[in-house]
């Protein structure tokens, strides 16, 4: 069963790539109807990445619940993630955003290729580091058998890919046809992709939510999840974007508050010890 959802994850990523390529072909033809059809296919590509996130969550949950986690499953899950949350969002951002908007600018097309490529490379590094940490988990304290499963080191690649998908789903019309300053918006999108790549390879900690749904509060959590699903169904454009942005911001604030809360060592105490 976990491998089935992993396969569905790959299928969703593959569909997203095919839909994005079809939209790119339509944008090359031009015309009002072609642009409308391209926007619809880009929206479908973004939603496919969202469904890939659902499958990615389910395969891990089911594997832990049924205790069927295997090395092959871990590696297959990483291969699925690099397709659905690495390649698919990188190509989607290129076609929807800076690749088609800045195509007439000198040497910017090469930079656009490079930004999308670096997003994929950073995502691949993030997955490789996660696999190493999964095989050799970090202990919470020296001499204790417990391990740190409450947080991820670096922004998870599904979250980075989901942010790109949420932005496209919020406004599926390509930036090239934006009413105001499309070039500026395209440059902002390139900067965002680079920033997401840096977050993935950073050492910032983000909550894993692996313990959500366990314990006495599971019934309340189930009600909350049902309510969230209803909100996504009714207001998917706003809710998905707010959720992903909120998750990323909480990791940045967590690091900032942790750094602010650290007190410098007492020099008098150090001198006394010396």
Examine the pLDDT at 65 and tell me if it is beyond 60: yes
What is the C-alpha separation between 31 and 165, in angstroms, rounded?
Answer: 25
Listing DSSP states for 120-175 in one string gives HHHHHHHHHHHHHHHHSPPBSSTT-S-B--SEEES--HHHHHHHHHHHHHHS-S-G
Query: Taking the domains of the chain in order of start, what are their residue ranges?
Result: 2-211
Residue 144 has phi, psi (to 5 degrees) of -110, 145
Question: Per mean pLDDT, which range of 18-32, 86-100, 139-153 is the poorest?
Answer: 139-153
pLDDT bin (cut points 50, 70, 90) of residue 270 is very low
**Does residue 256 register a pLDDT over 60?**
yes
Identify which has the larger pLDDT, 170 or 209: 170
Fold for the domain defined by 2-211: 1.20.120
Token pair for residue 274? Answer: 């010396």
Among 11-20, 25-34, 151-160, 246-255, the range of highest mean pLDDT: 11-20
Nearest in space to 88 (alpha carbons), one of 170, 25, 165, 159: 165
Q: What is the pTM of this model?
A: 0.84
Band (pLDDT 50/70/90 cuts) for residue 267 is: very low
For 196-243, give the secondary structure using H, E and C: HHHHHCCCCEEECCCCCCCCCCHHHHHHHHHHHHHHHHHCHHHHHHHH
Reported as a pLDDT band with limits 50, 70 and 90, residue 246 is very high
Q: What is the DSSP letter of 121?
A: H
Q: Give one DSSP letter per residue of 24-81, joined into a string.
A: HHHHHH-SHHHHHHHHHHHHHHHHHHHHHHHHHHHHHHHHHHHT---HHHHHHHHHHH
- pLDDT (average), residues 55-72: 78
Percent of the chain with pLDDT over 70: 81
**Whole-angstrom distance, CA of residue 81 vs CA of residue 221:** 26
For 8-16, what is the mean pLDDT?
95
Tokens 């295997």 -> residue: 70
Please check the confidence at residue 268 and state whether its pLDDT lies above 90.
no
Tokens of 40: 């619809």
Please state, as a whole number, how many other Cβ atoms lie within 10 Å of the Cβ of residue 2.
21
Q: What is the pLDDT of residue 13?
A: 95
Average pLDDT over residues 229-248: 91
The pLDDT score that the predictor gives to residue 147 is 47
274/105: higher pLDDT: 105
Most confident by average pLDDT, 10-24, 175-189, 249-263: 10-24
């Amino acid at each position: 069963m976990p491998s089935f959802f992993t396969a569905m994850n790959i299928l969703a990523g593959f569909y997203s790539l095919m839909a994005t390529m079809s939209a790119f072909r339509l944008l090359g033809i031009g015309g009002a109807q072609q642009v409308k059809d391209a926007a619809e296919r880009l929206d479908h590509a973004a939603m496919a990445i969202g469904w890939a996130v659902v499958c990615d969550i389910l395969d891990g949950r089911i594997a832990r619940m049924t205790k069927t986690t295997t090395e092959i499953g871990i590696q297959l899950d990483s291969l699925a993630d690099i397709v659905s949350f690495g390649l698919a969002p990188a190509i989607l951002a290129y076609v929807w955003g800076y690749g088609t908007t800045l195509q007439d600018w000198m040497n910017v097309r090469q930079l656009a290729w490079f930004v999308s490529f670096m997003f994929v490379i950073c995502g691949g590094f993030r997955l490789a580091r996660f696999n190493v940490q999964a095989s050799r988990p970090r202990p919470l304290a020296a001499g204790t058998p417990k391990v740190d499963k409450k947080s991820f080191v670096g922004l998870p690649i599904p979250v980075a890919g989901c942010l790109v998908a949420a932005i496209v789903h919020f406004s599926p019309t390509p930036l090239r046809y934006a009413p105001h300053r499309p070039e500026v918006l395209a440059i902002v999108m390139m900067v965002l992709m680079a920033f997401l790549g840096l977050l993935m390879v950073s050492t910032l900690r983000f909550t894993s939510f692996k313990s959500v749904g366990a314990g006495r509060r599971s019934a309340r959590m189930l009600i909350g999840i049902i309510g969230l699903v209803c909100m996504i169904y009714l207001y998917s454009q706003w809710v998905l974007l707010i959720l992903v942005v909120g998750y990323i911001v909480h990791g940045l604030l967590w690091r900032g508050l942790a750094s602010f809360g650290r007190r410098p060592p007492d020099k008098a105490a150090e001198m006394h010890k010396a």
